[in-house]
Amino acid sequence: MSEPVNIRLLQPGTRVVLEGGATAEIVSNPQDGVWVFARFLTSPDDPDRIGSEEMVFAQEIVEVGEAS
């Protein structure tokens, strides 16, 4: 289990790794500390999610990468 991430100030363009190994890029951030809007880049469990834009819950984010 990785350290909890404060997603409040993550900038659009930042890449995040989710539980289960999917990766997504932040599209916009409502800065509520709970959700970000992100586009899926990879999704090992569910390839249909690739390219889709979803609200991603903070507790699902396990790692924050560099801004693209």
Judged by beta carbon, residue 19 or residue 63, the one nearer another protein is 19
Question: Nearer Cβ to another protein, position 57 or 67?
Answer: 57
Min CB(3)–another protein separation in Å: 19
List binders of another protein among 29-68 (CB under 8 A): 30-35, 55, 57-59
CA distance 23 to 14: 11
Instruction: Point out which residues bind another protein (CB under 8 A).
Output: 28, 30-35, 55, 57-59
